[in-house]
């Protein structure tokens, strides 16, 4: 496996690929969607707020990228049938799906476990754990039909190294790591499918601002500096790499 922190792909190495990015309206999801489009992919933009998705759409178009598609929906409210409808729409509009970047997330306020309610746990697990596997499962027929398909699950350092006050979010992200290892083993019979976890680390994102409001933002790296890892895993260079938990930045 190459050094994912310094990977430099060829221009248009994602040409003709269709990639779904959840949480594409802001932060890492937005930057990843723009990067995938810049390298030739047709990007499906998911998020809750249409105005943010339209902004990403317009930026892709202004830079000459392939025409993106907007799919706004709330991961807290969708059910299994809704995911099937989404897949049918992808099939009818684009005819294929070659990759998914699961980046949408919900982080509640950091509190002790004793203060997190039943309802909060349901929301946290639904958005951060249940929705990614449900959407992946619904998309599986399209992914199987791709000659080279990749699923990336964005995790968090607090899921890999659980710490106090991160509660349900840390548990959900730890579950993502277990999920990816299980799914990778079950997909061993499919040579065209792979799934991995990426842990971005500390970066200047809306989520980081929520959990660390007093932090000096100019000291944080920009999400664009993490993109070599996201490009590597989504493209053909990572074929055969599956079931891995990879870090975008060095960690202790």
Contact (CB, 8 A) for 220 and 204 = yes
Count Cβ atoms within 10 A of the Cβ of residue 140 and give its class: 0-12 exposed, 13-18 middle, 19 or more buried.
Answer: middle
Domain spans of the chain?
A: 12-122+147-247
**SS3 assignment, position 25:** coil
Q: What is the mean pLDDT of residues 106-126?
A: 92
> How far apart are the C-alpha atoms of 116 and 41, rounded to whole Å?
40
Above 90 in pLDDT, residue 226? no
Mean pLDDT of the chain: 89
pLDDT for 96 = 97
pLDDT for 11 = 86
- Under the banding of pLDDT at 50, 70 and 90, the label for residue 4 is confident
Contact (CB, 8 A) for 199 and 148 = no
- Dump pLDDT digits (tens) for 59-101: 999 999 999 999 999 999 988 889 999 999 999 999 999 999 9
> How far apart are the C-alpha atoms of 37 and 43, rounded to whole Å?
6
**Beta-bridge mates of residue 247:** 199
161-167 contact pairs (CB < 8 A, 24+): 164/112, 165/110, 165/111, 165/112, 166/110, 167/108, 167/110, 167/111, 167/112, 167/113, 167/116, 167/124
- Under the banding of pLDDT at 50, 70 and 90, the label for residue 201 is low
Contact (CB, 8 A) for 100 and 20 = yes
Record the pTM. 0.91
pLDDT for 223 = 73
Q: What is the mean pLDDT of residues 120-146?
A: 96
Q: What is the mean pLDDT of residues 42-47?
A: 96
Residue 23 φ/ψ region, left for φ over 0, alpha for ψ in the -120 to 50 degree band, beta for the rest: left
Of the candidate CATH numbers 3.90.650.10, 3.40.640.10, 3.40.50.720, 3.40.350.10, the domain formed by 12-122+147-247 belongs to 3.40.50.720
pLDDT for 251 = 59
Report helix, strand and coil shares of the chain as percent, to nearest 5.
50, 15, 40
> How far apart are the C-alpha atoms of 96 and 18, rounded to whole Å?
7
């Amino acid at each position: 496996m190459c050094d994912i922190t310094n990977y430099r792909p060829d221009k248009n190495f994602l040409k003709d690929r269709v990639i779904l990015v959840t949480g594409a309206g802001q932060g890492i999801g937005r930057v990843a969607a723009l990067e995938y489009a810049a390298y030739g992919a047709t990007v499906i933009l998911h998020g809750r707020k249409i105005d943010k998705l339209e902004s990403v759409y317009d930026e892709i178009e202004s830079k000459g990228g392939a025409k993106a598609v907007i799919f706004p929906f709330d991961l807290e409210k969708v059910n299994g049938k809704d995911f099937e409808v989404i897949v049918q729409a992808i099939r009818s509009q684009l005819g294929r799906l070659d990759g998914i970047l699961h980046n949408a997330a919900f982080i509640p306020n950091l509190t002790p476990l004793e203060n997190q309610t039943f309802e909060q746990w349901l929301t946290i697990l639904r958005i951060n754990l249940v929705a990614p596997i449900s959407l992946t499962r619904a998309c599986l027929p399209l992914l199987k039909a791709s000659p080279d398909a990749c699923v990336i699950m964005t995790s968090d350092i607090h899921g890999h190294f659980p710490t106090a006050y991160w509660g349900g979010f840390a548990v959900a992200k730890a579950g993502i790591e277990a999920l990816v290892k299980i799914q990778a083993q079950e997909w061993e019979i499919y040579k065209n499918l792979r799934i991995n976890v990426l842990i971005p680390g500390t970066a200047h994102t809306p989520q980081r601002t929520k959990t660390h409001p007093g932090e000096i933002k100019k000291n944080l790296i920009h999400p664009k500096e993490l993109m070599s890892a996201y490009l590597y895993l989504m493209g053909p260079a990572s074929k055969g790499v599956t079931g891995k938990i990879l870090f975008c930045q060095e960690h202790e």
